[in-house]
Structure 1
Amino acid sequence: MASSAITKVAIAGPNGTLGPPIIHHLLKAACFDITLLTRDPAKAAETYPAPTKTLAADYSSVPNLTTLLRAGAFDALVILINRDQVTAQTNLLDAAAAVGGLHVIPSSFGTSYEHPKGRQLGALINKLPVEQHFLRLAEEGRITYTAINTGLFFDWALEKAGLPINLLGGPTMLFDEGKVRLSVSTLDRIGEAVAIALLRKEELGLVNRFLYVQSAVVSQAQLLAYARQLAPEREFKTVGVDTASIEGPALEKLERGETGPEVQRALMARFSFGLGLGLFERSDNEILGLKDMTEEEIKGLLGGYFGEVA
């Protein structure tokens, strides 16, 4: 079952956040034939010219996806669909299982859902059914997988979400005094990990395994101290948030069927900071030959944004 070397890779959802770094590292490896499966082939073809190939995909149709995967004779499928799109992900997994013999990198990026407290809290409500689906297919011998947990997308969060500290001009929401440590990964680190997982899955024993990959372990207080050191002329305001106080109202809304961004943010804050589950219990960096960022590299990353912030 998917025991030979991987050469032909299908990537579903290349137009999202993780598409560029992952495709970059797969191309850099110079041993993969890459085909992009996407709802918007024109955009993908413009973004990723030859040697990548592009095919229009209907994520709502398992028969369509099965036909594409079978015709391409792929060895592996990398799913980059947003985790909120549960049906699209499970359809891709079902298509891979129908073809048989594919090694799948599921859309498990981000925070791990393995800890029982996280499952009870429901902070990653859309991640669990997909995880259960690919685990069942693997147990049935219809696919193999390597699931890669990466923690918070470090540089993406600094640029887009103002997390774990706000470099966008507003105050930082300082959760539980900002002392809780988190595992974080840059987008480039995620691309590295995917490429290694496909290139060396047999050699490193990565088949049917969850990996924990990070660029660094940081706290909000630590990052704020670095930012103030690097930009002493700026004021980095904070607003204290006790995650225990926001958990109850969020859970009440969840019980009523409300699963919007406000609920998810509150539950993720409690999950990551209040319960300390944003910090991986182990790191698999050494297995993959990856190193954590140094203090100077973290400062360099933060300092790169100051010229762009109002």
Structure 2
Amino acid sequence: MPTTKVAVAGPNGTLGPTVINHLVKQGFEVTLLSRNTEKAAQQYPPPIKVAQADYTSMENLTETLREVGGFDSLVILINRRDLEPQIKLIDAAIAAGVPHIVPSSFGISTESPEVRALPQIKEKIEMEKYLVKKADEGKVSYTAINTGLFFDWGLEGPGIPVNLKGGPTWRADGGDVALSVSTLDLIGQAVAQAVRKREEARNSFLYVHSAAVTQNQLLQYARETAPERDFPVEEVDTEKAVADAEEKMRQGATGPRVAAPAMMRVSFGLGLGLFKKVDNAFLGLEVMTEEEVKAVVAKYVRKQW
């Protein structure tokens, strides 16, 4: 059986290392499409290949994909807010004859109208609509993966769903609303399995998570790990927070802090951050035990920032 050839766009982002690692583990031949080939080649030595890519040019991307040739899948890891390069990559893949795409659909599901109304999701919605249209026309196939919140990234970076760095956790609506979260490693596994099962998962939106957790659960684990530390909490009524944010926007305010309450309301207040059904079993992915979730929290509680 010939080796599956996979192109990866956006290898230097958050998901790059884990996705590339699991694609290689699956025995796929991986070529990275990178604006900075020197940086990519240093980070990812052979047998991984690196090709120059200009995400502003559909013609350049098409030529690159054709020159290397024979790709079975294109995995797009570009930030979901960058709509134009994603559209160019989709068009280039079609022009170059790449039959399958794993798009940058990671994160919250766009299934519900409440999520689809979020301004933070606008570009993701437009990309998905465009890709589905092209698939409906028979020009390409896709497997989109919804992952919920990036778990370890959230604990280490922005401090969501709980803040382990010393600042307050914004506890939404009492803190007992469950949320789907995925570790970066699980997302890498999911992508590799989606490529391997691309015919079985043809033109589908899959849902995976490492665990369903609540803010109070994670705060409890943090306090058990470090009882001498304070993990302060600021209570947030998400319905009121959204109303306050909308008033600020009417007055001209913009920015992530103004937009954040709407995402909190959808994820926690309306409970739409939790996947009711997941496709872990189909992709051969494990759900974390309680002890494994505790271990992830403990790792970041003990980390010195």
Q: What letter corresponds to residue 38 of structure 2 in structure 1?
A: A
* Structure 1 position 200 matched with structure 2 position 232: no
* Corresponding residue number in structure 2 for 1:50: 46
* Corresponding residue number in structure 2 for 1:190: 187
- The structural deviation recorded for 1:235 is 1.0
The whole-number CA distance in structure 2 between the counterparts of 1:98 and 1:254 is 42
Runs of 4+ more than 4 Å apart: 251-259
Pair 44,224 (structure 1): closer, same or farther in 2 beyond 3 Å: same
Pair 201,307 (structure 1): closer, same or farther in 2 beyond 3 Å: same
The whole-number CA distance in structure 2 between the counterparts of 1:55 and 1:308 is 36
* Corresponding residue number in structure 2 for 1:290: 285
* Structure 1 position 81 matched with structure 2 position 78: yes
Q: Which of the numbers 128, 145, 154 marks the counterpart of 2:142?
A: 145
Secondary structure of 2:174 counterpart:
helix
**280-289 or 115-124, which deviates more:** 115-124
Secondary structure of 1:179 counterpart:
coil
- The structural deviation recorded for 1:182 is 0.3
- Contact 1:6/1:198 (<8 A) preserved: no
* Corresponding residue number in structure 2 for 1:248: 243
The whole-number CA distance in structure 2 between the counterparts of 1:27 and 1:77 is 14
**248-257 or 279-288, which deviates more:** 248-257
- Contact 1:169/1:309 (<8 A) preserved: no
* Corresponding residue number in structure 2 for 1:97: 94
TM-score, length of structure 1 as denominator length: 0.93
- The structural deviation recorded for 1:22 is 0.4
* Structure 1 position 260 matched with structure 2 position 284: no
- The structural deviation recorded for 1:271 is 1.5
Deviations 1:254-296 (A, max 9, x none): 6899763224322211111111110012111111121210010
- The structural deviation recorded for 1:309 is 3.5
Percent of matched pairs sharing the same residue: 54
The whole-number CA distance in structure 1 between the counterparts of 2:250 and 2:82 is 20
Deviations 1:160-189 (A, max 9, x none): 011111111111111111111000000000
- The structural deviation recorded for 1:115 is 1.0
Number of residue pairs matched by the alignment: 304
TM-score, length of structure 2 as denominator length: 0.94
* Corresponding residue number in structure 2 for 1:169: 166
The whole-number CA distance in structure 1 between the counterparts of 2:101 and 2:157 is 28
**119-128 or 43-52, which deviates more:** 119-128
Q: What letter corresponds to residue 302 of structure 1 in structure 2?
A: V
Q: Which of the numbers 219, 225, 228 marks the counterpart of 1:230?
A: 225
**Unpaired runs of 5+ in structure 1?**
none
* Structure 1 position 216 matched with structure 2 position 208: no
Deviations 1:51-71 (A, max 9, x none): 111111111111111111122
* Corresponding residue number in structure 2 for 1:113: 110
* Corresponding residue number in structure 1 for 2:58: 62
Pair 133,5 (structure 1): closer, same or farther in 2 beyond 3 Å: farther
The whole-number CA distance in structure 2 between the counterparts of 1:259 and 1:90 is 26
* Corresponding residue number in structure 2 for 1:308: 303
- Contact 1:6/1:75 (<8 A) preserved: no
- The structural deviation recorded for 1:231 is 1.3
- Contact 1:101/1:142 (<8 A) preserved: no
The whole-number CA distance in structure 2 between the counterparts of 1:5 and 1:143 is 21
**117-126 or 50-59, which deviates more:** 117-126
* Corresponding residue number in structure 1 for 2:18: 21
Deviations 1:225-249 (A, max 9, x none): 1111121111111001111122234
Secondary structure of 1:77 counterpart:
strand
- The structural deviation recorded for 1:201 is 2.4
Pair 161,103 (structure 1): closer, same or farther in 2 beyond 3 Å: same
- Contact 1:35/1:53 (<8 A) preserved: yes
